Amino acid sequence: MDQTALKYEKLIEKFVKWAETEHDIRAAIVIGSRARTDSDEWADLDVIVITTDPERLLSTGDWVNNIGDPVITFIELTPNGDFEERRVLFKNGLDVDFAVIPLETVRGMLHTEIPPELAVELSNTFGRGMRMILDKDSITDQLRERIANIGTPRPSPPTQHEFLEAVNDFWYHAVWSAKRLRRGELWWGKGGVDGHMKWQCLLRMIEWHARAGGHDTWFRGRFLEKWADPRAVKEMRDAFAHYDEDDIWRALLATMDLFRWLAVETAEQLNYQYLTRADEHATELVKELFAGRSCGK
């Protein structure tokens, strides 16, 4: 075990020792890479805290002083948006996400049917590593069994409608971003190209493309470089922009090229329609806006 791992284990020991004396904290689970054996020195620590009083842990960060010497702490929504978590950076550089979940929510998961969407989310959350560190009510054993019964459901492929929505969304925002650039709004233009078009459209298409080819994809782009099509990873180098008008235009055009072949290949693998007319019309408009920029200078 490396020195960083040892530091995290000591921090976990301090947390457990403190939590054992807190009546409202009923259980705690380490998830992610720190619950596996393949974590590296850069991995953070993700802890799910099951409690009868979430507000106490979320309303103030004073309790974190019982665990270490915090330098930064704040509240953020969990990636799926269902719960809040307290994120903490300690003085020794260790960073921890304490996801706070009500006990009644966990009990509900144990005794009700889990819909497919939630099953995929639970698989992503617990299936990539799960280690119990505190359990006052034997609830984590039940949770482990529940998760095991779910198995590892693969995300279902997009429906034809979902696929077309993503394609339309992308090409609409390609034109939208170009207009922002012509208007001189670099912040918004870059936000469209490297924000919405990447995270809401391109990432989904990269995931769908990989899954259509039989690959396992991590959630929210984690370890994308390992499971995405190598061609896409290579082209990504040119798809992001500096905060510079010329470079944002270049990145916009590169992102359009990247999305196009990914979407076309995904449509072919899924036997779906591709919106060629939308692609061609949006591309023509973007190129006209780009050319007009040169004339206007």
Which tens digit of pLDDT belongs to each residue from 182-204?
A: 999 999 999 999 999 999 999 99
* pTM assigned to the model: 0.77
Ranges for all domains in the chain classified under CATH 3.30.460.10: 3-150
**Number of neighbouring beta carbons within 10 Å of residue 4:** 16
Which has more pLDDT, 109 or 236? 236
Q: Which CATH class is domain 3-150?
A: alpha beta
Ranges for all domains in the chain classified under CATH 1.20.120.330: 160-295
Alpha-helix runs per DSSP H in 42-159: 54-59, 103-111, 116-126, 139-150
Give the tens place of pLDDT for each residue, 161-184. 999 999 999 999 999 999 999 999
Q: Is 170 left (phi over 0), alpha (psi -120 to 50) or beta?
A: alpha
**Number of neighbouring beta carbons within 10 Å of residue 92:** 12
Which residues are bridge partners to 84 per DSSP?
77, 100
Q: Which CATH class is domain 160-295?
A: mainly alpha
Give the tens place of pLDDT for each residue, 86-112. 999 999 999 999 999 999 988 888 877
Comparing CA positions, the residue from 138, 27, 134, 31 lying closest to residue 80 is 31
